[in-house]
Structure 1
Amino acid sequence: MELRHLEYFIAVAEERHFTRAAERMRVAQSGLSASIRTLERELGADLFIRSTRRVELTEAGRALLIEAHRTLASVDAARDAVAAVQGLLRGTVSVGTEQCLGVINLPPLLARFRRTYPGVEIRLRHGGSTHLADQVRLGRLDVAFVALPGQPPDGVTLMPLATEPMLLLCHPEHPLSARDTVDWESLRNELFVDFSSDWGARQLNDRAFTAVGLERRVPLEVNDVHTLLECVDQGLGVAVVPAPVARKPSARRLHVVTLSDPAAPRWQVSVAVPTAAPSSPARDALLRMVLPTPKPARPSVTATPGP
């Protein structure tokens, strides 16, 4: 089994199309197709269900995809480790983050990292915390900055960075704007604007309202912070958000209300890394800029299977 066969396989699996995969890998489609057939013969299983419009992974293909990502990540880590011994730091570090975490200002951090280690390519992906943690588990991200309530998925370790309160935002003319604090019962009949289900803040809110036995109506579900703030500003609903979101300049027109219930949720931002992944010099160098621990590759908080 050749590494390029695995690279071609991953490209087809992600593009769901042989032509697009070949363009992405900058090879002839015939050569890419031949490599996939060679891989299937070697494994003794069909990896794709082919149709005229797109291709889908078979059960064997789905199993291989996870291991293919891990294998290529291990190869990259091995190359980086040799380069580090030679006094070089090169390779790639793939970073994921949820929007507006506030606890960490990622662009300046990445700029400082690039200035310090110009031989390392930085890849950045945005997404919800659940999705990002899963990408870490699969080996597609080296590190992710997330806000996950509860335990991380199996195979992922969380290293806490900071904790922030959750706050209520409402329009200045909303009845709740006359108050500085509010309890859960006062929110029973409100319409909410919230993030999509894989965002950490949304999961935290859903758990909190369920814990106190309140049903919550969320007719407006968005996938970015600025749209959420605009919806609240237009009086379309209220929102329970992490404190960094409430501090954004675009939230200045809104009224901020403290949640007075002792059981009000708290928003924890953490660094997510693979639990059992081989050491990556580039990843460890990035973590040293973020964490105070001298050995970021061996965090003290270990993962357990999620619920």
Structure 2
Amino acid sequence: MDVRQLEYFLAIVDHGGFNRAASALYLSQPSLSQAVRALERDLGSSLFHRIGRRAVLTEAGTALIEPARAAVRSLATARASVAAVHELREGSLDIAAMPSQAVEPLTTMIRAFSGRYPGVTVNIRAAFTARDVIDMVRTGATELGLLATSEPLTDKEVIAHAAGEQRFVLVTPPDGPFAAGRPVACEELAGQRLIVGQRGTGMRAYVDGLRERGIGFTIAAETEHRVAILPLVLAGVGLAVVTESWRTTAERAGALVVEIEPRTTLRIALVSRRTGRSPAARTFVTCGLSALGDT
């Protein structure tokens, strides 16, 4: 038994006979009769009494009307739901993002996407390292991922779409040791107290690189919670090297943001699986990257 047979059955009921139903369905009457006989065999019961050209429902046929209508309505709803997802009228999209990139450029990308497809919910999943992001996309935990890395991506199971670069900047309290408007040479961080992220992040790799170059500093705090960095800076615990995605938020909070020389950047990439991407994922890649090109 399939839904098509139920649709044929209901057409006979609604149109009062096989001939009228066949005309409405643009079927030949023998084809319609054959489909109904197949349905009756599947159910093990006759659905109609054939009286001349008339079709009178049997008790079994009468009992089938309500569940048949429910089944047909359910199929119509399912088809409409699938169509809505493909047309991006509704649905959801899961994206893994590292904390700094979840500030920017993800905000710009989601704003552009949601402006065009407001019915699609974007679910942002936390990932603390580039490896975390790649693994979440590769294993299907999310469809897309946004990451920052100082090295070219070599994972063959994902596609990397370039999404710009972000330079490192220094965030200090407003009364910190450096003047506003003047870039700070990285050597000037010697002797400072720094707030750092966990290993595997770009910001941690940067400060570890300073130490390898002989620039000595004290780690005042190490945190996995990126949102804790700015409050710690403003509280005078130490200074922080972060990506410039934090600039607007930090300045609005009253912190001072200064550039570090020489300029050092991270590559930002939007990654996706090579196959099996949903319409929402494909559209987000196009729409999001286009939005970044417009900024």
Does structure 1 residue 96 correspond to structure 2 residue 96? yes
User: For the residues of structure 2 that align with 1:166 and 1:122, how far apart are their CA atoms?
Assistant: 28
Following superposition of structure 1 onto structure 2, how do residues 29-68 of structure 1 map, counting pairs within 5 Å?
Answer: none
Q: Which residue matches 2:166?
A: 164
What is the match of residue 254 of structure 2?
253
Alignment partner, residue 10 of structure 2: none
Distance change >3 Å, CA 137–CA 230, structure 1 → 2: same
Deviation at residue 110 of structure 1 after TM alignment: 5.4
Aligned to 1:136: 137
Aligned with 2:106: secondary structure?
A: coil
Kept after mapping to 2: 8 A contact 1:166/1:259: yes
Give unpaired runs (5+ residues) of structure 1: 1-82, 294-307
Once the two structures are superposed, the pairs formed by residues 1-307 of structure 1 within 5 Å of their partners are 93-101=93-101, 102-105=104-107, 107-109=110-112, 111-112=114-115, 114-115=117-118, 118=119, 122-130=122-130, 131-152=132-153, 154=155, 155-177=157-179, 180-206=182-208, 208-209=209-210, 212-248=213-249, 252-261=253-262, 264-274=263-273, 276-292=274-290
Paired with 1:137 and 1:205, the residues of 2 have a C-alpha distance of 29
Counterpart in 2 of 1:59?
none
SS of aligned partner of 1:151: coil
- Say if 1:88 and 1:239 are closer, same or farther in 2 by CA, change over 3 A: closer
Distance in 2 between residues matched to 1:229 and 1:147, nearest whole Å? 20
**Residues 145 and 272, structure 2, Cα contact 8 Å, conserved in 1:** yes
Q: Is the 8 A contact 2:86 2:279 kept in 1?
A: no
1:113, CA displacement in angstroms? 5.8
TM-score calculated relative to the size of structure 2 = 0.58
The alignment covers a number of residue pairs equal to 207
| SS of 1:136 mapped into structure 2 | helix
| 1:28 alignment partner in structure 2 | none
Query: In the TM superposition, what is the alpha-carbon distance from 1:143 to its structure 2 partner?
Result: 0.5
Q: Deviations over 1:9-41 (max 9, x none)?
A: xxxxxxxxxxxxxxxxxxxxxxxxxxxxxxxxx
Q: What's the CA shift for 1:222?
A: 2.1
User: Shift of residue 144 of structure 1?
Assistant: 0.9
SS of equivalent to 1:247 = helix
Report the CA distance shift for 1:175/1:288 in structure 2 as closer, same or farther (over 3 A): closer
Distance change in 2, residues 1:215/1:140 (3 Å): farther
Q: Residues 135, 200 of structure 1: CA spacing in aligned structure 2 closer, same or farther, 3 A cutoff?
A: farther
What does the per-residue CA deviation read over 1:240-274, in whole Å, with 9 as the maximum and x for residues that have no partner?
Answer: 1111212215654222222122xx31133220122
Select the structure of larger CA radius of gyration. Answer: 2
Which deviations, in whole Å up to 9, do the C-alpha atoms of 1:166-210 show, x marking residues without a partner?
A: 11112233323477222122112222112222433333443x425
* Native 8 Å contact 1:113 1:286 kept in 2: no
TM-score (norm 1): 0.56
Counterpart-to-counterpart distance in 2, 1:92 and 1:174: 44
The secondary structure found in structure 2 opposite 1:291 is: helix
Between structures 1 and 2, the one with greater helix share: 2
Q: 1:252 to 1:162 in 2, by over 3 A?
A: same
2:178 is paired with a residue whose SS is helix
Structure 2: segments with no counterpart, 5+ residues: 1-81
Distance in 2 separating the partners of 1:220 and 1:132:
25
- Contact 1:146–1:269 (8 Å) recurs in 2: yes
Residues 252, 124 of structure 1: alpha-carbon distance in 2 compared, 3 angstrom cutoff: closer
Instruction: Quote the Cα distance in structure 1 between the aligned partners of 2:215 and 2:246.
Output: 24
